[in-house]
Amino acid sequence: AQSVTQPDIHITVSEGASLELRCNYSYGATPYLFWYVQSPGQGLQLLLKYFSGDTLVQGIKGFEAEFKRSQSSFNLRKPSVHWSDAAEYFCAVGASTNAGKSTFGDGTTLTVKP
Amino acid sequence: GAVVSQHPSWVICKSGTSVKIECRSLDFQATTMFWYRQFPKQSLMLMATSNEGSKATYEQGVEKDKFLINHASLTLSTLTVTSAHPEDSSFYICSLTGTYEQYFGPGTRLTVT
């Protein structure tokens, strides 16, 4: 069965600092990986996705993620965090291009200090 | 991408009553929609897969008689929480799947008093 682990429940960074959110997955075949962001009381917005090809994926809002098969990881990064990035971030792994059956991690809450 | 709406965005109901939540695809014909449940500070849990014109597929542990799903058209799926109890209070989110990604509705917060 597929699973996702986000080791960090809560991360606090200063505005302008760099950010890395960790994600580890377990899946028996080639994974389809996603990062989503959720603002309070809102639905989820896709930041980026990885299916194949270049292991460094660029997303919206200046985010990127790197797929490392050897480490079963798909960590999300941003070089300079903005106050508006404060939100909940979810990593998800899907079984196929039909993302509806994705399994979500427990999420990481990002707080941005001024 | 597809635009998904949900109505209502927030509902309070009394214990024992039923509540219907609508999920609409505004610009995409969705043969399949998904219903998720999210408790505070927790992740999304898939409840069921809604199939247009046929019965929904429920995940293990989800009571199909309590969470009634109807997908009568390619743009509308409804989730009815029957005989709601306080433990049903949660954030319910629907989504539909495009070719390579999911599109999520804004969610409906249900509070059962």
A10–B contact, CB cutoff 8 A: no
Give the Å distances, CA to CA, from A41 to A83, B39, B41, B92: 18, 11, 11, 11
Model confidence band, residue B43 (pLDDT cutoffs 50, 70, 90) = confident
Q: What is the percentage of chain A residues whose pLDDT exceeds 90? A: 72
Kindly list the residues from chain A whose CB atom is less than 8 angstroms away from the CB atom of residue B91.
41
Contact B43 A34 (CB under 8 A): no
Q: Which residue has the higher pLDDT, B100 or B77?
A: B77
**What is the rounded distance in angstroms from the CA atom of residue B113 to the CA atom of residue A62?**
42
Six token digits for residue B106: 């804004």
Contact A44 B104 (CB under 8 A): yes
For residue B17, the distance in angstroms to the closest alpha carbon of chain A comes to: 24
A42–B contact, CB cutoff 8 A: yes
Give the Å distances, CA to CA, from B27 to A113, B5, B30, B95: 38, 10, 9, 13
pLDDT of residue B11: 97
Say if residue A98's pLDDT is above 70: no
Which pLDDT tens digit goes with each residue over A5-49?
999 999 999 999 999 999 999 987 778 899 999 988 788 899 999
Average pLDDT of chain B is 91
Q: Which residues contact B45 (CB under 8 A, 6 or more apart)?
A: B36, B37, B38, B59
Average pLDDT of chain A is 91
Question: Is A109 within 8 Å of A50 (Cβ atoms)?
Answer: no
Kindly list the residues from chain B whose CB atom is less than 8 angstroms away from the CB atom of residue A51.
100
**What is the rounded distance in angstroms from the CA atom of residue A94 to the CA atom of residue A98?**
8
pLDDT of residue B42: 84
